[in-house]
Structure 1
């Protein structure tokens, strides 16, 4: 069913009829009610003006009709609301009649028109319509409330309503104009009777083909039911006549009412039999429809004896693409271009009750494999019919073709790879070979046909080994076993083969037969022997090489470790083979120095080092000792993988000799510095000679004036001038002492920021052309420190001057110096001078603050500035240190006491 269509469009025929009957009942009800609205007597009684339908009765039938329609269309809630209207009207009418209480509802509608009638209670709903309202209303509610009432019961109730309506209609039709009806209890109007009959038939039709009627069609005792119903259908019509006769004799009714009662009984009996007949026909029709639909689902065709198609199922239409209209009347085999699968030009046979495989063509040109079963059906008085049951076996045919192609490919593959396939029957010892197998193995066809002839040709020790393998497989009930042996050809040459066999056992576990495949591996054996010889030769060369040699793969895994390498690293070969090369170096992979990174780059590049190129690295012995080494390497590509050969040489002795030479150079440089200091001392003595000589002269002149008795003012002037020269000499000596030895410090509370900025301004004079940027990051919470202002400025000047000297020699535009201060501890503050230079060489970090140690070029410094700065900071109770930054550049850091400490 198309989900976009209304349910009634795709409904079965019986349900469409039910909907039509319900619509008809609604139309009649509306027409009769319109007679009251329009004051049209002929319309409200359908021509019988003496028996009109009352307004409330018309409204009840309108609600009943709408309730049935809503229920049929699946609108259950709406149906319940509509069905409540006739049920309410029926209950009110029955209450008024049984209690004889007039509620006054009869004349609520159209009272002036109701006065035209002489009935006792004009406008009151009669018993017959009320009964119809109750019966059909309850049946409709049972269908709405989750099928509360069984479909069979709803059909039976509808049948009762149909009988009541039919009887009432007959009574009305046979009543005389102007007189009351023959049976007042059954009185109704013609519109009410028509609507009742229409709705009752709608209910019966809607529920046909369900429940016990369907079960009755499948009941094996159906014949017994028919045997009971047929006699009853003949006897029951007599009972109303007998009842009429009894009532007439007892004077219960007059003749006319008795006849009407008998007629009513006959109508009920006939209606019951008609209901059973209708349901039985509906059941048989349903079975036939189901059977027809089931047949249409299958792929089937009916043809005449000459091959013309008379029926083409839906399954055949889906499979082949031709609709029934297009296929009917055409020859089946010509339409489908049928041919036997074995021969393309042979037309299919027309067998009688036989099966054949055909290749047939669909409408879109595809060829499919069909298994056709043909059966001839002959019925007397009718033309014979040929039934063609067709099954699509394309998948099976495709699988068979693929199997055949697979076998052909297997034969080609075995021939291409020179594989010999054989079968050995254990009981008889017979050996059977696949075509060409003996020639591929170098055997003369027909020479090895039994187990004994096979055993005579192979090497004795190989024969014993193969027999042991077979015996072990049989003992373990192994499904397969492998073998390898050599055999001698007639020309004396030896051939080697290997293979495997599939073993088959009987119920007792005895080996019955084997099917196996063998391959000539003579050439491979020769290559492997040559390879073994070459490996032995290479291993001998490796063992005699004086330098440590090892081979690693592209993942860094050690594959070869020579004897010299064992001596160098103090590992045995079996302890390092299969492990990563990193175990031989002192650095983890994420902390490798530049030299180790170069080694890793070489391993990743996959290219050999250039002639004479080496890599400096560090090694780690088994005992944890580090040693410098020099590595030379080559690369070989094997089967798409890289293998690196590394030769390592210990550089410990070479570095020791270089270190001794460096120490000698340092001592010579120290001697040179001492000579320079001697010269400096001579210069200082020369400088001191001048103020001392002037002082001596001034004092001598003053003494002469005193001896002569001159004025004291002139003597005072000479003494003042002598004092100035003396102070000058003292300043020279103090500077020399400050340069060469530790002195006392003058500790005072001083502002930190201005002190540092004044020293920096002094250093930056004359450096603008070098584009050096100096920035300050001083902690505002540290305004003052407790220190000697002059000495602190001397340290800052020294450190800044060193940084400026380094940056002047550095290329590029990124020349930066940062001066920052931070709280170090509770009593100390730290001042850092950070530059963006190349940093301090690692070997110099440990001896940076020693005397006569300098990082500047030869002749550019004496190496005593940092030593003096360190003594100054230590005299303040602080520490001066230096380190390199990870991102580049150096950091000099010194600490000073805070004002709190100085105040203690």
Structure 2
């Protein structure tokens, strides 16, 4: 069975066995003594001094059998008891047979109880029903209760009480009856028989009941007046009979008066006993009802010795969900599926056992209980086990929650390397959680007391810690925080911080603290490194010439460097927390806020780009600035760091450099034109000379008086030659012009051909041919025509100069264009000359590097050309061709549309 193993039930009267055995032995001795009186013809032994009523020999034998049978039963010799109890059964049966037949039975004659006729033996009375009844009742009740279990303890007690009354009545008749008086036949018995009947009936009562009076006497406690009243209550019913015999023997009253007096006494005695019994019963019933209600409200169950439920209180119904009708008769531990987490299911429990069980509610829920069992036995009842059940489900849940909490705390402490400690101020004892000392680099137990703690802590921190504790005690603070350093055995230092809960006594003295500590050595080192880096960064930022301004999501200024103070003229404390829009003119403030909002919403437009804008100083002076912005994200907040540079000087420098570059380009063009002056003079001389000749011829014809088509033709030819000379001069003036840069859509073909024609003036005698390979799909570029022509003139002139020293008969300069992508066009100038040395290619675009060797040149033409192309957003490169000759390529932005 699941649960505890029950102790075998004790038989009723087990505690009274010694007394019962003593009484049974006395009865046996008395029976044997009376039988010996017949054997040795001793009249006193036969009658115990009362000669009128001797005991019959066969009756003595019967009492010997009853007494010895009880002794054998008390000694657990049940078979011997059964054999011995056959004797009184046979004797009682023979007596009943003699009584019914009215003649001596053969068994009596066999043993010589009935003497033959003419013998000298005295008169032996015939057996009466009382003797046979006593023997028969004692034997049957003993055999039925001790051997067969036919009768309950209550039934045996009732039978024994009846035998006791009969035996006492018979004894009273012997004591008070006169020889001349007529005695009721039913009460005729011998004194030995009555005496042994009393002793054996008391023996049976002791063996079958644990009398409360006996327990009270043995324990020396209880209602002593009840103990005194019990004999009186037993003797009261006898008083009327004694009075009747007394008055009857004295003849002092008439029979009617005697009967009336006896009846009155009986009524008084019965009334007193009845009133007392009703009062006691009512009071006991009231107490029993109160006790029953109290027990029913408690969680109490009563089981039999084998574990079946005999009583199931209302508290058990509420606890387990099973009603009393459903639970009664069930095995408790099977019904509730009881499990003991401490003992095994078959472990034996002693009286008064206590165990914790996990049982199932009717709906399947687990119920935790503490079961206390007590063995209970009473007069005439089978022993039972009273179980007091205490519901500990909530306590178990609380304990489990506490264990879970402690496990989580331990896990969290281990994960975060927290140490828990307790300091008993009075004893100085300090207890640490497992592993705390090792994590601090200390030996376990090395800081188990206040003095050892003081010895391990940095001396400068000890006094600080004591002052913190003193202030907490002075103000009765519930908790205080601390920070100090441990000195390790190897000389290392571990920094810790923590807090502690303070506990005070009634006088306000600190008696105990419980707290936690955390090793912050790495954090301190990290913080120290951060502080060092912060100081270094602050020093760098203070020396950086650019101004630094940090703003938040709302454009409020958070930091304002010293360089920013110098740039704007504000002090940092005057602008911190104010809107950054005060740093720019009013007309651009909305633009800046729009850019900031777009960045905050979409993350676009600020980070990674360089922006230019206009700033306004504290005096109202506006100046150009360049802004570089970085962002730092802190949770959902942004911090924008802006490095601002004043562009005033740089723009002025750029303007001066631009003017200087224009001047240099102009000088370069003048230099180029000076080199072409002789060729240009020769080229201009031809159309002017031709014009003069044509005009002279026309004049001669006019002087002759000739008119008509011939004169007109001469004048038309002169005009053409004049226009030719004017075009040469126009190109020269345009090339030499010192104007502003003008970016617009220009025709690639016109720009290229004009430049080529300008260079080819006066070079026809060199026998250098110019070939054009222009892409018809690419017609326009977005550029300054004069600057692009300057580059082309420079490249074409260099090519012509390289071809002049070449002995090849087919000297060609090829000018080509092609589309690189949708936005870029490439223009190339190539020749089939000797090419350029490798060392020249490496530095060809460096100033004062010339490709003309000893033929002259300043070495700035290609450098200027490279800057011009880069200013247009393109690039200029040079290389030697595999088939011979050099090639220069440059790119320009392409544009759709325009006009030739």
- Which is higher, the Rg of structure 1 or of structure 2? 2
Higher relative contact order, chain-length normalized (CA < 8 Å, sep 6+): 2
TM-score normalised to the size of structure 2? 0.36
TM-score normalised to the size of structure 1? 0.36
